[in-house]
């Protein structure tokens, strides 16, 4: 999971650039965590806490952490379909997105 997160951050500057040239450095100042980074972190956190949390299922923990990631990192480049789904899920479950 750490490798996936590092790869996401390293490749973030190329995601919508259409640039296929090999970079000179792996991590540059314009690299940043994307939605994939934050979702990976949410799943890892939920998995880790699922061993200790007996009041919630893994699915509930992943959903909770996903919502938290979405709220904490609105600039992460979330896809439009994901944004629609997460907002609908928040509303349908009476959850607070603040």
Q: What is the pLDDT of residue 55?
A: 83
Q: What is the pLDDT of residue 6?
A: 93
Number of domains the chain contains = 1
pLDDT tens-digit map of 46-83: 999 888 877 888 999 999 999 999 999 999 999 999 99
Answer whether residue 98 is part of any domain.
no
Q: Pick from 3, 93, 89: which is nearest to 44 by CA?
A: 3
Answer whether residue 82 is part of any domain.
yes
Answer whether residue 97 is part of any domain.
no
Q: What is the pLDDT of residue 98?
A: 52
Q: What b/e string do you get for 21-55 counting C-beta neighbours within 10 Å, with b at 16 or more?
A: eeeeeeeeeebebbbbbbbbbbbebbeeebeeeee
Residue 24: its H or E element: none
Answer whether residue 62 is part of any domain.
yes
| Domain membership of residue 65 as a residue range | 2-92
């Amino acid at each position: 999971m750490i490798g996936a997160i590092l790869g996401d951050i390293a490749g973030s500057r190329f995601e919508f650039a259409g640039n296929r040239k090999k970079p000179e450095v792996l991590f540059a100042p314009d690299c940043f965590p994307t939605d994939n980074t934050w979702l990976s972190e949410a799943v890892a956190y939920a998995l880790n806490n699922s061993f200790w949390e007996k009041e919630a299922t893994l699915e509930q923990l992943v959903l909770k952490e996903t919502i938290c990631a979405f709220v904490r990192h609105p600039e992460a480049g979330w896809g439009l379909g994901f944004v629609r789904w997460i907002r609908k899920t928040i509303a349908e479950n009476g959850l607070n997105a603040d």
